[in-house]
Amino acid sequence: MTRFEREEALTIEDGQLVRIVTGRVGTFAMEVAKIYEDGRVYLRNIECRPLAGWVMDVPGRTYHEMFYGTPYTAKLEPWYKYNGMCEGLSYHIVQDEDERVIYELYPDFKWVINKADKRFNTNDLFKLLPLWKKYPSQVEALVAGGFYSLAYNSNTYTAKDKKQILGWLREHPEEGKEVNLNDIRVMLRENIGIPELNMWKLDNRDRWTGYLTYKEWKWLDNRSRSMYRDYKEMAKEAGHDLKDPYWHFPKDLKKAHDKVMREVENIRAMKKVEELKKKQTDYIATIKRFLGKTYKGRGVEVFVPDNVQQIEKQAKALHQCLIANNYIDKVIKKEIVLVFVVENGESLATAELICKGRKFKLGQFYGDEAKENCNAPRKAQTALKKWAELHKIRMVA
């Protein structure tokens, strides 16, 4: 499988609007996804992988993803119903030709689109359309006011406090474009405005008792709010008591921020050293049977890394998440074994062998994941097979 470019178009099928996603690899193109307005999704020849994202099988093209290098030729698969999340698969800004398709099925929906001060993308359009079918006048009014966050939220139309919410929007038409449903409820309940709301959020959603003192600092811009949020999180991590005014209201925010940042960096560095020392001992005990047996051939070497620093280096070189996703812990728990393939001292690929008792199954086997085709090259697959023979490893499907 390989990564692919995506194109999207709207059409009508079985009396519903459908987003047709076309996958393109080079000059080859085919329909790979159908997203219906009622929420149904059908896919073929594509899947979403944890590391590579959405990838595609091009019919007729030969791939080499199996452990023993046995090639397989991709076929045109039948459509199947997909129950996962697909918002990241594809979307595009609705164009004139898309509007003609929409109006063919829903001619009155043009009043909603025409009253918007922006172009919807297809993802947002498919959120809005089912709500408009149930609450046409309310959706149209919210879109006309520019209250998109509220318009996309189904809870807006069934809220028990809807009267109060709409009253607030009438009094604050511009501010209403910047907030969501929960924000409005907080301001109504606390009897505060948007500046106070930001302070309320900064204080872990507790009432901001020190607002006047905070306001006197005269740094209520967005950058300072973000800095203060980071400062509070780091101060807590460093063990400082934020109930103490000295830490809660620093006289110089920038200096206080930089100070606790250095403290946190030192604390994390010390913790990392201690964690790696412990993991190194446990790691060696788990993979000791593989140590000392490295396959070498034509400049390619295959081996099990003997320390966690090697794993960090491999992860960085191949843009892999071996550290971030705790692959070391999986090795220690005897769930997997990591096998590295290098060529002339440079990282080439990483194989994940899943433990099945005394047997193993090949899991993920990737090269540089920053490349469009991140699958392990053929020479890496061949070398891994030789390494398995050297260790008399039995592989299962």
pLDDT per residue as tens digits for the range 265-320: 888 877 776 776 777 888 888 888 887 788 998 899 999 998 888 888 898 899 88
User: Given a cut of 70, is residue 67 above it in pLDDT?
Assistant: no
Task: Average the pLDDT over 316-334 and give the result.
Answer: 84
45-54, 63-72, 95-104, 229-238: the lowest-pLDDT one = 63-72
**Which comes out higher in pLDDT, residue 1 or 330?**
330
- Whether 368 maps to a domain, the answer reads yes
The whole-number pLDDT of residue 218 equals 45
Domain span including residue 37: 5-81
Nearest to 336 by CA among 293, 305, 313, 310: 305
- Taking the CB of residue 388, how many other CB atoms lie within 10 A of it? 21
- Tell me: pLDDT of 394 over 70: yes
Tens-digit pLDDT profile for residues 163-210: 999 999 999 888 888 888 888 988 888 787 877 776 666 654 433 334
For residue 206, the model assigns a pLDDT of: 39
Please state the rounded mean pLDDT for residues 37-65: 85
Q: How far apart are CA 251 and CA 256, in angstroms?
A: 8
Quick check: is 361 in a domain? yes
Q: Tell me, what's the pLDDT at 44?
A: 94
The rounded percent of the chain whose pLDDT value lies above 70 is: 90
Domain boundary among 39, 59, 81: 81
pLDDT digits (tens, 9 = 90+) for 375-389: 999 999 999 999 988
* Model confidence at 12: pLDDT above 90: yes
Looking at residue 338, what is its pLDDT?
92
Instruction: Assess if residue 313 is contained within a domain.
Output: yes
241: pLDDT strictly greater than 90: no
**Nearest-CA neighbor of 95 among 115, 113, 117, 112?**
113
Question: Does residue 220 lie within any of the structural domains?
Answer: no
The CA–CA distances, whole Å, from 28 to 9, 11, 59, 245 equal: 17, 21, 10, 64
In this predicted structure, what is the pLDDT of residue 68? 52
Contacts of 244 (CB under 8 A, 6+ apart): none
Given a cut of 50, is residue 217 above it in pLDDT? Answer: no
The pLDDT tens digits of the residues spanning 122-150 come to 989 999 999 999 999 999 999 999 999 99
Nearest to 339 by CA among 293, 298, 281: 293
CA distances from 170 to 71, 83, 147, 382 (A): 65, 40, 11, 69
At residue 259's C-alpha, the angle toward residues 255 and 263, to 5°, is 170
Q: Which of 27, 49, 81 is the endpoint of a domain?
A: 81
> Is residue 362 one of the residues assigned to a domain?
yes
Residue 359 forms part of a structural domain: yes
Q: Count of domains in the chain?
A: 2
| Burial class of residue 55, CB neighbours in 10 A (0-12, 13-18, 19+) | buried
Per-residue pLDDT band at 30 (split at 50, 70, 90): very high
Residue 243 lies in a domain: no
Confidence band (pLDDT; 50, 70, 90) for 254? confident
Give pLDDT, residue 188: 87
- Asked if residue 308 belongs to a domain, the reply is yes
| Helix, strand, coil fractions of the chain, as percent rounded to 5 | 45, 20, 35
- Final residue in a domain of this structure, among 81, 113, 142: 81
Which residues have a Cβ under 8 Å from the Cβ of 216 and sit 6 or more positions away?
none
User: Distance between alpha carbon 375 and the CA centroid of its chain, in Å?
Assistant: 21
Structure confidence at residue 214 as a pLDDT band (50, 70, 90)? very low
Q: What is the pLDDT of residue 200?
A: 66
pTM, rounded to two decimals: 0.48
**What is residue 20's predicted lDDT score, i.e. its pLDDT?**
94
Residue 286 Rama label (left phi>0; alpha psi -120 to 50; beta): alpha
Give the whole-number percent of the chain exceeding pLDDT 90.
Answer: 31
Which of 31-35, 306-310, 349-353 shows the lowest per-residue confidence on average (mean pLDDT)? 306-310
According to the model, what pLDDT value does residue 140 have?
92
